């Protein structure tokens, strides 16, 4: 048996185990916590994918395709195919347990995250693995659920970035260098290729995404921020 075939079989086994674990966790939450108002399977799956992606990213600065592509296909398949089929069969309990959101929500969530990811990739803000993981999250959760996650992720990433600089005592120094480079670029009319001459030391994006996903289940940070700004 070839190495590729063995690797594919191993990945399939891990995915089956992961899906079974997500099903058990979703059922425990649904029954044990008496949450009959919503399902948790897709949310649990998204959380598991983000955790594994974060571990890979922190360890190797790479998020493997064997994680992101299957997650993307599962999200799209569940919302675009499984959801309408279960609806047609009248399987309301299964629909509620799965937590799928339907074709429209799934496509909009996937499209929004893919668009944001591609734009960030082109501006060198995200890597290819980050883009695929973000699109996977959008496909699994749908548009309505992913929007607060994105806002939370943005705020968490900003806080982590500032803390990362502050702990190194480099906030003022980097601000001065950035200001100098921006001024030099304007005066000399050169490109901004060397505008940010620092090594990438920021926390992986998926860390912010995972924290944003968790927080979105309890609080929408952007609404809290807007309410606070409105009261100032």
Domain residue limits, the chain: 3-231
pLDDT band at 172 (very low <50, low <70, confident <90, very high): low
Pairwise CA distance, residues 114 & 130, whole Å: 10
CA-wise closest residue to 137 among 35, 47, 39? 47
pLDDT band at 197 (very low <50, low <70, confident <90, very high): very low
Structure tokens at 85: 């089929």
Q: pLDDT digits over 64-111, tens only? A: 999 999 999 999 999 999 999 999 999 999 999 999 999 999 999 999
- 35 φ/ψ sector (left φ>0, alpha ψ -120 to 50, else beta): beta
Q: Residue-wise over 66-91: b if at least 16 C-beta within 10 A, else e?
A: ebbebbbebbbebbbebbeebeeeee
Are 150 and 114 in contact by the 8 Å Cβ rule? The answer is no
Pairwise CA distance, residues 209 & 54, whole Å: 9
Q: pLDDT digits over 19-50, tens only? A: 999 999 999 988 887 777 788 999 999 999 99
Pairwise CA distance, residues 16 & 21, whole Å: 9
Are 100 and 79 in contact by the 8 Å Cβ rule? The answer is yes
Per-residue model confidence (pLDDT) at position 5: 53
Q: CB neighbours of 27 closer than 8 A, spacing ≥ 6?
A: 97
The Cα-based distances of 89 to 78, 81, 207 in angstroms read 15, 13, 39
Q: pTM for this structure?
A: 0.78
């Amino acid at each position: 048996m070839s190495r590729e075939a063995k690797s594919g079989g191993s990945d399939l086994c891990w995915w089956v185990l992961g899906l079974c674990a997500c099903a058990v966790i979703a059922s425990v939450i649904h029954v044990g916590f008496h949450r009959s108002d919503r399902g948790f399977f897709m949310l649990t799956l998204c959380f598991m994918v983000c955790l594994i992606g974060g571990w890979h990213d922190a360890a190797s600065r790479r998020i493997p395709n064997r994680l992101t592509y299957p997650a993307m296909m599962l999200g799209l398949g569940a919302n675009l195919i499984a959801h309408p089929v279960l609806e047609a069969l009248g399987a309301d309990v299964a629909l509620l347990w799965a937590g799928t959101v339907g074709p429209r929500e799934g496509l909009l969530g996937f499209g929004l995250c893919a668009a944001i990811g591609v734009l960030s990739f082109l501006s060198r803000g995200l890597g290819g693995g980050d883009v695929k993981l973000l699109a996977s999250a959008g496909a699994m959760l749908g548009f309505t659920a992913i929007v607060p996650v994105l806002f939370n992720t943005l705020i968490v990433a900003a806080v982590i970035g500032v803390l990362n600089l502050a702990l190194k005592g480099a906030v003022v120094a980097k601000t001065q260098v950035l200001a100098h480079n921006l001024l030099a670029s304007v005066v000399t009319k050169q490109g901004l290729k060397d505008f940010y001459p620092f090594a990438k030391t920021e926390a992986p994006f998926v860390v912010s995404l995972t924290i944003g996903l968790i927080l979105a289940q309890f609080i929408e940070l952007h609404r809290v921020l807007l309410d606070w700004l409105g009261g100032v």
